[in-house]
Structure 1
């Protein structure tokens, strides 16, 4: 596993753990987040993924959305949720599952179009089963075992359900591979569809029209680079933006802050922004979920992290 501690000095309060091998479920990625007794209050950056946060922390973590809703426990964030979403609390611990929108329905029974970019309680989707997962995670002592547990619980659901239509999967994969720098007309021509048909089929299954999805993927890539401290002008030039003002407008639209503020907030809290899931290629069935979960090693800055044992 890869492990990082984000922040500097007294602000180094986020521990982020990753499996050292990809999930055997294509279009699915995991990370572990842990925070001690220092209270959190930070923005959740939108991603080009549907986000599932499986909460098992000792303290109450509160998520507030742009509409003023307050949520606790395990949550699902729809594709491209507002950058006005914030998380507050202490003693936070969760396994984050990032789902490519083309496999979200197969895993959740709810597609990104149904979520509509909103934050919803996992209990509202899965009922008591969501609470049972949190209980099992809280009883599990290592990130290795937590990742394996979640992968095992999701694998049967994933393999027994269809992903999006093959043409929509192909369209999403092309957008991601091109990092959002792909014209809708070009994409429609590659599929042999009209622009209108592509818009309707894609939006019905992904939850966003193709042009908006491409902008989100491009923003996601830019957010990674800004969080890594790269210069905004270079990020704009390399990311397909017409100029730095264009980047500024897109970051404001998705995150609700300027590129400089986005970069600073990410450095002060957590810059654990995973890349959008790559092309969807289902692996062969079979094999051990736990065997493919990868070895996890967590670096802990102090005794407040006892709840986040390795």
Structure 2
């Protein structure tokens, strides 16, 4: 699928491509982006997955975070990247395959633990060395998005098969949090595993890079904010999403994005999700 998405007046147009079939690697979703010109910086909105950007266009994305604005080529952004609304992105003539990775498979695919990334952004060259340049060249040589998706999927599958996975218990806890849309009690997960609460927190944090309570909060936020973008009322979203009240939802949205629920619904990164990630598969 190939669509052009207009995101208010902030972006002239995003050309967005989605694969015709799901990835062979569970926990992977992909989309292709062609961004002609970002006329004003775009806010990165945290979501419950890591982001791998494989760029091959004439331009490079410019990421503006606590370290200041810097041009990036291919990159990896950690779990919850953009927390607090402090990360902005701009650029011209950027083409890339963007991959969302479940933290449960991120260590195998990336070769680095999500905990080592700690929610930050790093250059793919620093992680993969010459392999990052080779995949960039190959993506630029093919002419269709389906070929690019196939190349990317083969790369991810090969890396995933060659590396060790995280503990099965930690993976189970993550997927329970996802399935419950963040509305799970961490103590209850520990009890089901036969672990102490301290052990679950320690293993989860060391392998996925985030405490389980914050991970559940991020997953809950992700579902709530997409319902807001879809036009649902804040009161209903708060009630259905496990928030104590509408003020509680308001505080969470501000904490994650730096803006209010009334403002976040116009964020271009959220507006494009239904096109780029139409199934919103489990991450």
What is the TM-score when the length of structure 2 is the normalising length? 0.91
C-alpha deviation, 1:210, in angstroms: 0.7
C-alpha deviation, 1:258, in angstroms: 1.2
C-alpha deviation, 1:267, in angstroms: 7.6
Query: Which has the higher relative contact order, 1 or 2, with Cα contacts under 8 A spaced 6 or more apart?
Result: 1
Change (3 A) 1:260 1:51: same
Q: Distance in 2 between matches of 1:197 and 1:268?
A: 35
Change (3 A) 1:33 1:127: same
User: Which residue of structure 2 aligns with residue 57 of structure 1?
Assistant: 57
C-alpha deviation, 1:277, in angstroms: 5.0
C-alpha deviation, 1:276, in angstroms: 6.5
C-alpha deviation, 1:3, in angstroms: 4.1
- State whether residues 2 and 17 of structure 2, in contact with CA within 8 Å, keep that contact through their aligned partners in structure 1: yes
Query: Are 1:188 and 2:197 counterparts?
Result: no
Q: Which runs of 5+ in 2 are unaligned?
A: none
C-alpha deviation, 1:162, in angstroms: 2.3
Equivalence map 1:21-32=2 (5 Å): 21-32=21-32
C-alpha deviation, 1:75, in angstroms: 0.9
Q: Distance in 1 between matches of 2:147 and 2:131?
A: 19
User: Which residue of structure 2 aligns with residue 283 of structure 1?
Assistant: none
Q: Residues 266-293 of structure 1: CA distance to partner in whole angstroms, max 9, x if unpaired?
A: 38963457477538xxxxxxxxxxxxxx
User: Which residue of structure 1 aligns with residue 251 of structure 2?
Assistant: 249
Change (3 A) 1:240 1:10: closer
Q: Residues 158-216 of structure 1: CA distance to partner in whole angstroms, max 9, x if unpaired?
A: 11222210000100000000000001111111111111111111111011111011001
- State whether residues 4 and 13 of structure 2, in contact with CA within 8 Å, keep that contact through their aligned partners in structure 1: no
What is the TM-score when the length of structure 1 is the normalising length? 0.83
Cα RMSD, aligned residues only: 2.2
Equivalence map 1:166-181=2 (5 Å): 166-181=168-183
Change (3 A) 1:2 1:183: farther
- State whether residues 17 and 31 of structure 1, in contact with CA within 8 Å, keep that contact through their aligned partners in structure 2: yes
Change (3 A) 1:2 1:228: farther
- State whether residues 57 and 94 of structure 1, in contact with CA within 8 Å, keep that contact through their aligned partners in structure 2: yes
Change (3 A) 1:11 1:202: closer
- State whether residues 227 and 266 of structure 1, in contact with CA within 8 Å, keep that contact through their aligned partners in structure 2: no
User: Which residue of structure 2 aligns with residue 202 of structure 1?
Assistant: 204
Q: Distance in 1 between matches of 2:113 and 2:270?
A: 33
- State whether residues 78 and 117 of structure 1, in contact with CA within 8 Å, keep that contact through their aligned partners in structure 2: yes
- State whether residues 107 and 154 of structure 1, in contact with CA within 8 Å, keep that contact through their aligned partners in structure 2: yes
Q: What number of residue pairs does the alignment pair up?
A: 279
User: Which residue of structure 2 aligns with residue 260 of structure 1?
Assistant: 262
C-alpha deviation, 1:96, in angstroms: 0.6
Q: Residues 217-276 of structure 1: CA distance to partner in whole angstroms, max 9, x if unpaired?
A: 111112222222322222212211111111111111111111121111238963457477
